[in-house]
Amino acid sequence: MTKIKVSTSAAKEFDCDKMTVTFTVAVHYNDSTTAAEVGKEQTEKLLAALEEKVSIKPEDIVFERENVGSSYYRENNGCSYTKKLEFSAKADMALVSNLADLAKELKYVGYNVDFSLSDRKAKEDEVLAAATENSRKKAEIIAKGLGLKIIGIGKVSFGGEMICLCEQARPMALSAQPQGRSALVSLPKEKVESSVDITWLAE
């Protein structure tokens, strides 16, 4: 019985199909009472706009604890109010565009969009299966050249954990007052890679 060791890898690009949007309400005033009042007012306006214009309801949003404290802003001591709101949705460039328009209409609001893959494990398994198939084909070619046939597998080891590399910058930061629309007009892609070492048995 002959052993044939083959090391192979595979990679595949997937469209990022999930996005997490984080809005930050940040208000600066001379006193904490005014900062908190204005901050809460702007938060309520943001919530109303999200529901009215992009159908994101308050129950779909995760709220972080608001923070009111001293700050140093524009060369004057003062107080700041900050609160973050986050929601996840199917990646949709039209929605991103609408969020950009919405943010421009509101004061004291910034936001960030982070693209990612849903069901990552299934995509990693798909790439691993492709790497394994590549290994089998190469082993069969080698075995045929030796006048042998592959009859089984002796050992399998992985070259490392799955590595995910984003093809475009992630997270994607978008300004609350953007100078025109974002240059990103299509969904970012993420490359999933896998490597495997297989010792094939031939005779």
Per-residue confidence at 6, pLDDT binned at 50, 70, 90? very high
181, part of any domain:
no
Based on the fold, state whether residues 61 and 140 are members of the same structural domain. Answer: no
27/112 Cα distance (integer angstroms): 17
Based on the fold, state whether residues 98 and 156 are members of the same structural domain. Answer: no
What angle (nearest 5°) sits at the alpha carbon of residue 36, between those of residues 35 and 37? 95
- Which H or E run contains 129? helix 120-145
Per-residue confidence at 159, pLDDT binned at 50, 70, 90? low
Domain that holds residue 152: 2-14+120-164+193-202
Indicate whether 178 pLDDT > 60.
Answer: no
Indicate whether 128 pLDDT > 50.
Answer: yes
Query: SS3 string of 157-193?
Result: EECCCCEEEECCCCCEEECCCCCCCCCCCCCCEEEEE
Burial of residue 20, with CB atoms counted within 10 A of its CB: 0-12 exposed, 13-18 middle, 19 or more buried: middle
Exposure on the CB side of residue 41, measured as CA atoms within 13 A: 9
| pLDDT tens digits, 60-97 | 999 988 888 876 555 556 788 999 999 999 999 999 99
Q: Of 123-127, 163-167, 175-179, give the range with the top mean pLDDT.
A: 123-127
Find the mean pLDDT for residues 191-201: 91
92, part of any domain:
yes
Based on the fold, state whether residues 99 and 127 are members of the same structural domain. Answer: no
Q: How many domains does one find in the chain? A: 2
* Strand, helix or coil for residue 54: helix
86 forms bridges with which residues in the sheet?
A: 22, 62
| CATH (domain of 55) | 3.30.70.120
pLDDT, residue 158, reads 79
Indicate whether 190 pLDDT > 80.
Answer: yes
Based on the fold, state whether residues 112 and 47 are members of the same structural domain. Answer: yes
88/38 Cα distance (integer angstroms): 26
Q: Length of the chain, please? A: 203
Residues 6+ apart with CB under 8 A from 35: 27, 28, 29, 68, 78, 79, 80, 81
Sign, Cα dihedral of 12, 17, 18, 23: positive
182, part of any domain:
no
